């Protein structure tokens, strides 16, 4: 069952989800002959955790890339905060308040954890090149203020002990956490996480789940996340979109999609015709 | 102290001073290379072009004077005014920023994600284009450049060393000025890239384009920025070398000395560019002093390149580059 976009939505834990923040309408994305996304529509509402799931190659990352401007769909419209979004470069999307992490971790390897997270603040630091040179003091003040915010995020994600470490030297699990920290530093309206727990052990997964829930709770950040671990998805998300071979085959609360026959077939690997 | 040693010290000092300027020019290369993976062959010609433009503006030349006269049958000869050096330098900088902007919007924007060799070829094309443009705009005769920097032997150094060692060092005031200015600029550039948000954005782009985009950095902005910095560096180098030996084509070749500097220091390393510049500067002067006479002189033309070649064999990643081990 797919919810009508106008209905107020009440989650399993009794919260009412807010207005539509991001609305994807009839998105189709092709790479040459391959249709990675086929005419998919869904919305993300304010304050919710929206999961996107599906088998490998279903088109989940592609969808996230469309939202963040890295891929440009051939067809369809992207509506953000009630306005149709014109074609935009990824950096412009970021400046609109959409932060993301990558499936294959994209950090600045040569820079320290602190510097990496500081780059997340760039969208909030608006002193220009010239004014930086002229009013050195003001630029310093801006730097210090943003630094304070970053330190809070570093504390929040419990990575104080590695603040000065070059990111390239960190183990995989911590890199994922630094990437989350950088995205959070932007204080995004919408946070996109592409498999934030892939390749982690059980303990790391639990930590990450806790962080994601805390971010959503404490800052009210809207989150869209891709995840393979069904247990995690069921625990974390308010609503789930299920993709398979570029199509949307399910959309609803975790319980609803779990009972959906098409979803079950996709996950059990029933032969496609 | 034996005379030979004193001479050697004097030569070393002169080498160090030349080296600081090499380091500055090499930094121009490194910044562009780090931020966009482009080896900018045009850097040398940019120095020449900047110097030509500076002279042209100072002397009140009309750009494309010859062309205009031929096409319109006019007979223009300059605006008939002179522009003070400082203002002319500022105006030249504006020209170099416009150039940086044009290079990115007209050429490089269309070559994103191309092979490095293609980008390199593009900069070779750019170099020749700029050389021709410089000639067309300002004429191809050799020009003298005088922005009012001190020149001639530094009396204080000469007298002090004479009192101490009984031999007065010959150090040119122009070299001292060039060294000081270059040293300040190197420091400013390093501080800029380490401690400002634009510097951080620049390092971010150098590290990972996707990630940089995802935090809201415009790659085009950063590229225009690094090309502008390279233009600025070219201008400074053009002023120093132009003041020394006139503004002429050979100026673009001196700037290419940064190439061996980069092989020594590693193409992506800022400290490498600095140390490499000093080593090449001192190395070529000392080598000429010690072995030049035996080898028939003019070793400064090739020494840097040969040293870099030898160095490459033993440490291909440069002084500060990380060792590249192919995963198998
Ligand atoms: N840049 C690209 N160029 C060409 N094809 C692409 C590109 N990106 C994705 N694809 C194709 O689009 C389809 C969907 O890929 P996508 O990465 O979105 O899947 P996914 O659901 O994220 O899979 P996974 O769970 O393995 O990460 C695949 O067939 C993939 O090969
Ligand atoms: Mg994926």
- Residues B289-308: tens digit of each pLDDT: 998 888 888 888 899 999 98
- Residues B211-226: tens digit of each pLDDT: 999 999 999 999 999 9
Of B316, B114, B55, B280, the closest CA to residue B123 belongs to B114
Give the Å distances, CA to CA, from A205 to A131, A229, B39.
Answer: 44, 10, 43
For the Cβ of A65 lying below 6 angstroms from any atom of ligand 1, the answer is no
For the Cβ of A40 lying below 6 angstroms from any atom of ligand 1, the answer is no
The number of the ligand nearest the C-alpha atom of A266 reads 1
Ligand 1: atom nearest CA of A54 is 21
Query: pLDDT-based confidence at B1, cuts 50/70/90?
Result: low
B211 contacts on A by Cβ (under 8 Å): 102, 106-108
Exposure on the CB side of residue A64, measured as CA atoms within 13 A: 24
- Residues A24-51: tens digit of each pLDDT: 999 999 999 899 999 999 999 999 999 9
| Contact criterion met (CB below 8 Å) for A116 and B212 | no
Q: A65 and chain B: CB distance < 8 Å anywhere?
A: no
- Residues B97-119: tens digit of each pLDDT: 999 999 999 998 888 878 889 99
Query: pLDDT-based confidence at A10, cuts 50/70/90?
Result: low
Nearest CA in chain B to A93: B216
Q: B218 and chain A: CB distance < 8 Å anywhere?
A: yes
**Six-digit token string for A76:** 């369809």
Q: Which residue from B206, B214, B218 is facing A68, i.e. has the nearest CB?
A: B214
For the Cβ of A6 lying below 6 angstroms from any atom of ligand 1, the answer is no
| Contact criterion met (CB below 8 Å) for A224 and A132 | no
What percentage of residues in chain B have a pLDDT greater than 90?
Answer: 35
Query: pLDDT-based confidence at B129, cuts 50/70/90?
Result: very high
> A216 C-alpha to center of ligand 1: Å?
28
B127, pLDDT greater than 60: yes
pLDDT score recorded for residue B253: 84
Residue B117: burial class (beta carbons within 10 Å; 0-12, 13-18, 19+): exposed
For the Cβ of A82 lying below 6 angstroms from any atom of ligand 1, the answer is no
pLDDT score recorded for residue A2: 45
Dist CA A238 CA A252 (whole Å):
8
Span A77-81, mean pLDDT? 95
Of A107, A132, A127, the closest CA to residue A117 belongs to A107
pTM, two decimals, is: 0.86
CA gyration radius, chain A: 19
| Contact criterion met (CB below 8 Å) for B23 and B273 | yes
Q: Which residue from A102, A122, A139 is facing B216, i.e. has the nearest CB?
A: A122
Beta strands per DSSP E along chain A: 9-10, 16-17, 20-31, 34-45, 49-53, 75-80, 83-84, 98-100, 190-194, 222-226, 239-244, 247-252
A108, pLDDT greater than 60: yes
- Residues A146-203: tens digit of each pLDDT: 999 999 999 999 999 999 999 999 999 999 999 999 999 999 999 999 999 988 889 9
Query: Is the model more confident about B49 or about B326?
Result: B49
Residue list, CB under 5 A from ion ligand 2: A 61, 103
| Contact criterion met (CB below 8 Å) for A166 and A109 | yes
Measure CA of the first residue to CA of the last residue in chain B; give whole Å.
57
Three-class SS state of A135: coil
The ipTM estimated for the assembled molecules is: 0.89
Residue A2, number of CB atoms within 10 A of its CB: 12
Test site for ligand 1: of A62, A104, A226, A249, most ligand atoms within 8 A of the Cβ: A62
B227, pLDDT greater than 80: yes
A77, pLDDT greater than 80: yes
The number of the ligand nearest the C-alpha atom of A29 reads 1
Q: Tell me which long-range contacts B11-16 makes (C-beta under 8 A, separation of at least 24).
A: B11/B285, B11/B286, B11/B288, B11/B289, B12/B282, B12/B285, B12/B286, B13/B169, B13/B171, B14/B171, B14/B175, B14/B285, B15/B281, B15/B282, B15/B283, B15/B284, B15/B285, B15/B286, B16/B179, B16/B278, B16/B281, B16/B282
- Residues A195-244: tens digit of each pLDDT: 999 888 899 999 999 999 999 999 899 999 999 888 888 889 999 999 99
For the Cβ of A31 lying below 6 angstroms from any atom of ligand 1, the answer is yes
Instruction: Using the Cα atoms of residue A38, residue A35, residue A188 and residue A216 in order, give the sign of their dihedral.
Output: positive
pLDDT score recorded for residue B265: 85
Return the residue whose CA atom lies nearest to atom 1 of ligand 1: A31
In total, the C-beta contacts within 8 angstroms joining chain A to chain B are 81
For the Cβ of A35 lying below 6 angstroms from any atom of ligand 1, the answer is no
| Contact criterion met (CB below 8 Å) for B96 and B46 | yes
A12, pLDDT greater than 70: no
Token pair 């996709």 is found at: A266
* DSSP state, residue B324: P
Instruction: Using the Cα atoms of residue B221, residue B222, residue B226 and residue B227 in order, give the sign of their dihedral.
Output: negative
A108 contacts on B by Cβ (under 8 Å): 203-204, 207-208, 211-212
Query: Is the model more confident about B7 or about A129?
Result: B7
Query: Is the model more confident about B267 or about A89?
Result: A89
Nearest CA in chain B to A69: B214
A269, pLDDT greater than 80: no
Dist CA A23 CA A25 (whole Å):
6
Q: Which residue from B210, B215, B225 is facing A119, i.e. has the nearest CB?
A: B215
**Six-digit token string for B180:** 């000081």
Return the residue whose CA atom lies nearest to atom 10 of ligand 1: A36
Partnered with residue A243 across adjacent β-strands are A248
Domains by residue range for chain A, with CATH: 1-97+192-273 (3.40.50.300), 109-187 (no CATH)
Q: A141 and chain B: CB distance < 8 Å anywhere?
A: no
Dist CA B205 CA B223 (whole Å):
9
Instruction: Using the Cα atoms of residue B159, residue B164, residue B170 and residue B174 in order, give the sign of their dihedral.
Output: negative
CA gyration radius, chain B: 21
For an interface test with B, give the residue of A71, A90, A111, A131 to mutate (most B CBs within 10 A): A90
Dist CA A30 CA A71 (whole Å):
10
Are the beta carbons of A139 and B215 separated by less than 8 Å?
no
**Six-digit token string for A21:** 């923040």
Are the beta carbons of A111 and B201 separated by less than 8 Å?
no
Of B203, B204, B192, B212, the closest CA to residue B269 belongs to B203
Span B172-181, mean pLDDT? 88
Q: A132 and chain B: CB distance < 8 Å anywhere?
A: yes
Are the beta carbons of A118 and B200 separated by less than 8 Å?
yes
Ligand 1: atom nearest CA of A55 is 25
A180 contacts on B by Cβ (under 8 Å): none
């Amino acid at each position: 069952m797919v919810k009508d976009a106008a209905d107020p939505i009440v989650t399993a834990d009794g919260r009412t989800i807010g207005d539509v923040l991001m609305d994807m309408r009839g998105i189709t994305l092709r790479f040459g002959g391959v249709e990675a996304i086929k005419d998919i529509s869904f919305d993300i509402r304010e304050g919710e955790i929206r999961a996107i799931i599906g088998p490998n190659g279903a088109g989940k990352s592609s969808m996230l890339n469309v939202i963040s401007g890295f891929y440009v769909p051939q067809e369809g419209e992207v509506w953000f905060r009630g306005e149709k979004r014109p074609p935009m470069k990824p950096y412009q999307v970021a400046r609109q308040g959409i932060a993301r992490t990558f499936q294959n971790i994209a950090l600045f390897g040569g820079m320290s954890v602190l510097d990496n997270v500081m780059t997340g603040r760039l969208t909030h630091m608006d002193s220009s090149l010239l004014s930086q040179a002229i009013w050195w003091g003001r630029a310093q003040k801006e730097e210090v203020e943003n630094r304070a915010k970053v330190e809070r995020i570093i504390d929040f994600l419990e990575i104080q002990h590695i603040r000065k470490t070059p990111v390239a030297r960190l183990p995989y699990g911590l890199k994922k956490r630094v990437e989350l920290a950088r995205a959070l530093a932007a204080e995004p309206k919408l946070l996109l996480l592409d498999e934030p727990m892939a390749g982690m052990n059980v303990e790391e997964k639990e930590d990450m789940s806790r962080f994601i829930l805390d971010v959503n709770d404490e800052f009210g950040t809207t989150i869209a996340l891709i995840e393979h671990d069904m247990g995690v998805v069921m625990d974390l998300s308010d609503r789930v979109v299920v993709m398979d071979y570029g199509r949307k085959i399910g959309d609803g609360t975790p319980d609803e999609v779990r009972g959906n026959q098409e979803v079950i077939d996709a996950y059990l690997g029933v032969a496609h015709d | 102290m034996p005379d030979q040693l004193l001479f050697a010290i004097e030569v070393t000092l002169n080498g160090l001073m030349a080296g600081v300027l090499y380091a500055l020019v090499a930094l121009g290369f490194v910044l562009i290379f780090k931020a966009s993976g482009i080896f900018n062959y045009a850097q040398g010609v940019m120095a020449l072009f900047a110097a030509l433009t500076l002279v042209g503006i100072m002397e009140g030349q009309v750009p494309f004077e010859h062309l205009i006269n031929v096409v319109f049958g006019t007979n223009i000869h300059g605006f008939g005014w002179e522009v003070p050096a400082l203002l002319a330098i500022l105006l030249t900088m504006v020209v170099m920023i416009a150039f940086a902007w044009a290079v990115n919007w007209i050429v490089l924007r269309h070559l994103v994600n191309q092979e490095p060799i293609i980008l390199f070829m593009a900069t070779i094309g750019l170099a020749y284009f700029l050389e021709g443009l410089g000639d067309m705009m300002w004429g191809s005769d050799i020009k003298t450049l005088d922005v009012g920097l001190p020149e001639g032997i530094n009396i204080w150094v000469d007298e002090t060393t004479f009192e101490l060692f009984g031999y007065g060092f010959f150090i040119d005031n122009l070299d001292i000025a060039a060294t000081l200015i270059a040293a300040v600029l190197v420091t400013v550039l390093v501080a800029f890239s380490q401690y400002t948000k634009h510097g951080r954005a620049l390092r971010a782009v150098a590290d990972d384009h996707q990630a940089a985009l995802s935090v809201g950095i415009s790659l085009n902005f950063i590229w225009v920025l690094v090309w502008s910095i390279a233009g600025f560096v070219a201008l400074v180098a053009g002023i120093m070398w132009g003041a020394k030996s006139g503004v002429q084509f050979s100026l673009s070749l001196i700037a290419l000395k940064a190439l061996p500097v980069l092989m020594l220091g590693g193409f992506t390393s800022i400290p490498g560019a600095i140390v490499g510049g000093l080593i090449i500067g001192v190395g070529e002067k000392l080598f000429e002093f010690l072995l030049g006479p035996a080898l028939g002189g003019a070793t400064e033309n090739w020494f840097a390149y040969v040293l870099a070649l030898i160095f490459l064999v033993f440490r291909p990643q440069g002084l500060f580059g990380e060792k590249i081990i192919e995963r198998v």
